[in-house]
Chains A and B, each alone.
Chain A
Amino acid sequence: MLIDTRTLDDGSRIDADLAIIGAGPAGITVARAFAGSPRQICLIESGGLTLDAETQSLYEGESAGIEYPLAKTRLRYLGGSSNHWGGFCRPLDPIDFEARDWVPLSGWPFGREALDPYWEIASETVETAPARYEDQDYWARKTGEPMVEWRAGRYVTRFFQYSPPTRFGERYRPELAQADNVRVLLHANVTNIAAVPSAAAVDHLQVRTLTGRSCTVRARHYVLATGGIENARLLLLSNDVVPAGLGNQNDMVGRCFMEHPHLGGFADIVIADPGRMPPIYRDRIRIDGRDARVSYVPHPDYLRRERRLSASFTMSISGELRMDQATDDDRSDAQREMLLAARPFLTTGGQRQRTDDPDLAGVRMGIGCACEQAPNLDSRVLLAEETDALGLRRTRLDWRLTEQDRRSLVANIEALGRELAATGIGRMRLLLPDDGLWERKVGGGSHHMGTTRISDDPKRGVVDRNCRVHGIDNLYVAGSSVFATSGSANPTLNIVALAHRLADHLKGQTA
């Protein structure tokens, strides 16, 4: 049932077994797991069914560190930020869960195997199933092309599988609306998570609409699923019992904000013979009605040996280079001449495997990257002094990147260039200095992670291995704010897998 909270009587009280704050991919996934069950579920969404400016403006805030477009990277209506999601799906890698002595605060309370039972169902949720993100044999069969055997041992072939993308609000709204045991409160802003006096449990949620109505929601269990920034903000705002904010007894809420720094134009890659690189390595291809492409990911052994953070790269052909076509552009001329110089190393007897164009020297590749950012206590979500339309202090985001992040990026790019050359595919020109300094403007992937990080140690994290807030019996967190480390995989599939896992745990708790 969908309910417009603005139509409820002021001061209404809603009771449920489980209250979920936030109807994005995480919240909707948990709610769906209970649809049709005997448990009463209340799913609370700030927005309505479509984007509206007044609600969206609640996301406005300040950047204290790297300039960050807070309101543009999230959407505040049913389905949340899945409404502008690109659909990239890939699981975090096993090494991402490990404690790595060169990565501060690294190590999840469990290994990747704890999520392995959930990739398939998560893939069904995001409509990418079957889950074949690491199965080279599968893609070799499906494409009829052999996979590249990397010779330098620095990279592995992984696969992005693309969601349509699933717009969670649109896709699952009928199911939520028809479930007798699910009430979806729209236009309902949780303004306070009210704890009992001991702060050992949540007592109720205070909810307000932008039209001035108030209500309370009481439940046996609560799930906070408002995204990687708002999860921390709402805990910090809920300070009527614990002045530092709920769950913040160790000053960890909001810390370790991580993004996946994205840079463009950091390298030139030229390939003489695209035939040495099957299409799935250089393009998004359609298989069985779904898209997939290769993600170039550093080999875990290389990462351990070189003590690097992870990264993920994709490549696409961005242009052709002709044999005899000098230009006024020195960069293009250098690319062409590199292909001509290195041609004997990049072709078989000077011939490409497949070509009907003898004047083609080769191609240049466009390359994209997403880098792992190391957890950093100083990179954090804080509360600004300015307040929003609900009178709540806005977000102040202090996103910081480190020299380690930057040097890892450069090393990983170089390792990719090495791998392409060692495998006889191409040559790379690195355009970044290895000085450890970040550009003034760095983009992110709209990936907000780490601000309520998972750890068995309350001094190193906000939630425990079951995503329950340390010290609070009935409050859980869903979403990428629990990521202890960011890896390089896009978060959504991992958020959904974790949400399924949390739902399984909650089913045991609410039985």
Chain B
Amino acid sequence: MNEHAEGALATGAAMSRRQLLIAALGLLMGQSAGGLRIAAAQPMPASPSASLLTVLTDPAAAARFGRAYLAAHPDEADVEILVGRLSASLSAHTAATDSAAAAIAELVQAEYVTEALLRVDGWLLAPSEARLYAVTALTR
């Protein structure tokens, strides 16, 4: 279960920026993950979550690379761990946007500048991008 997402969603409009983004992550997973649909069914923050839904427009394609990531990082084959790491990265990143989707896109772009990149089935990916794909793989 994703405690980060549930807790964030419960506080509604009074959420901090960090909570908002974490909630949005939970919502992302709630699109298709059985256990996470509860979270998605909660009252959702308006535009940030809606925009986040568009972050990964092709979950099937994303899952392909998510599975490859998980094969190389079996210790992360857990939604909670992945979301925890994604939320930590989001928290550490100063986004210049109020949109959760845009913030994640910004984070991914920023990691391409500063972070060690991963090779996922040969593809060079930013860590958070690979984890987003992995979340998709686990929740489809």
Contact = CB atoms under 8 A, between A and B. Distances in A.
B113 interface: yes
Interface stretch (A254-262, A312-320, A418-426): A418-426
Interface in B54-78: 54-58, 60-62, 64-65
A251 interface: no
Interface residues of B, number: 26
Contacts of B65: 337-338, 341
Given A342-B129, A429-B124, A424 B109 contact: yes
Interface residues of A, number: 28
Given A152-B112, A422-B113, A429 B122 contact: yes
Contacts, number: 77
A171 interface: no
B117 A153 contact: no
Residues of A contacting B: mostly: helix
Contacts of A427: 123-125
Interface in B20-61: 54-58, 60-61
A447 B99 CA distance: 52
Interface string B108-137: 110011000101011111100100010000
A431 B119 CA distance: 10
Nearest to B106: A345
Given A337-B65, A340-B61, A414-B117, A345 B124 contact: no
Contact of B123 (A152, A153, A338, A424): A338
Nearest to A432: B122
Nearest to B101: A344
B138 interface: no
B55 A344 contact: yes
B124 A341 contact: no
Contacts of B57: 340, 343-344, 350
B124 to A, nearest CB: 4
B95 interface: no
Contacts of A417: 117, 124
Contacts of B119: 430
B15 interface: no
Interface of A: 151-153, 268, 334, 336-345, 349-350, 414, 417-418, 421-422, 424, 427-431
Lowest 8 CB-CB distances: which A-B pairs, in order? A422-B112, A340-B61, A340-B58, A337-B61, A341-B62, A341-B61, A429-B122, A417-B124
Given A340-B58, A414-B117, A427-B125, 15 more contacts: A152-B112, A153-B113, A336-B61, A339-B61, A340-B60, A340-B61, A343-B57, A344-B55, A344-B57, A345-B129, A417-B124, A421-B124, A422-B112, A422-B113, A430-B122
Interface of B: 54-58, 60-62, 64-65, 101, 105, 108-109, 112-113, 117, 119, 121-126, 129, 133
